[in-house]
């Protein structure tokens, strides 16, 4: 019996040495796609998200699919649309859609791509283009220098141009080049 116990203690001693060595070793398999941020951490289908402040809805986002990448702090959306509310969430002021959108989670900046349409009721304006960028902190909306943006208003005003930019805080917008279109101006004094 003493021999059997001695043999089993030796085996356990060897096993603990092997386990200790394995625990001290590390295997380098290289960076996986997930470590590089190439694979999403979360994948969702038919997404609806409502941002609420003080009990009132501010904006509602929907997407056919959403992929969240924690390492890059981005969310990639397909068939993206949104509604922006005002007056304690009672009225929709702006609606928009894009084939794809990329949201920077830390800054709130958004890249809209693959066919963009925005309608802003308070400004009586509709914008259509291939792509637009929203800079949240600065409250700026811009199109690339090589992207044509078409703008329309219900009074018949319509413009096309390249290098569109809009400063939402100052309620100004403009084009860098290639401006073409018609501006309708009604003189309020003549109407009276």
Domains by residue range for the chain, with CATH: 42-144 (2.60.450.10)
Please, are residues 80 and 101 in contact by the beta-carbon 8 Å criterion? yes
Q: Give the three-state DSSP class for 189.
A: helix
Which residue ranges of the chain lie beneath pLDDT 70? 1-37, 188-192
pLDDT at 36: 58
The predicted pLDDT at position 101 comes to: 96
- Checking 57-64 for CB contacts under 8 A at 24+ apart, the result is 57/85, 57/89, 58/84, 58/85, 58/89, 59/83, 59/84, 59/85, 60/85, 63/101
pLDDT single digits (tens) 4-26: 444 444 444 443 443 343 344 43
Q: What are phi and psi of 154, to 5 degrees?
A: -70, -20
- Confidence (pLDDT) at 20: 41
In the prediction, which pLDDT does 17 show? 42
Reported as half-sphere exposure (CB side, CA atoms, 13 A), residue 148 has a value of 7
- CA-to-CA separations, 139 to 109, 112, 186, 190, in angstroms, rounded: 9, 15, 29, 36
| Torsion angles phi and psi, residue 2, rounded to 5 | -65, -35
> What's the token pair of residue 90?
């009672």
């Amino acid at each position: 019996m003493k021999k059997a116990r001695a043999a089993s203690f030796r085996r356990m001693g060897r096993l603990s040495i092997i386990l200790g060595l394995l625990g001290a070793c590390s295997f380098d398999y290289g960076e996986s796609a997930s470590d590089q941020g190439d694979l999403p951490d979360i994948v969702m289908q038919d997404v609806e998200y409502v941002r609420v402040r003080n009990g009132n809805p501010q904006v509602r986002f929907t997407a056919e699919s959403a992929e969240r990448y924690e390492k890059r702090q981005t969310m990639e959306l397909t068939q993206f649309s949104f509604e922006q509310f005002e007056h304690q969430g009672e009225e929709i002021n702006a609606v928009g859609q894009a084939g794809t959108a990329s949201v920077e989670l830390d800054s709130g900046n958004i890249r809209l791509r693959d066919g963009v349409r925005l309608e802003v009721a308070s400004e009586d304006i509709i914008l259509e283009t291939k792509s637009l960028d929203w800079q949240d902190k600065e409250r700026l909306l811009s199109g690339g220098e090589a992207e044509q943006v078409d703008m329309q208003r219900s009074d018949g005003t319509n413009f096309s141009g390249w290098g569109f930019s809009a400063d939402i805080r100052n309620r100004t917008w403009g084009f860098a080049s290639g401006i073409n279109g018609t501006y309708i101006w009604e003189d309020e004094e003549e109407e009276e």
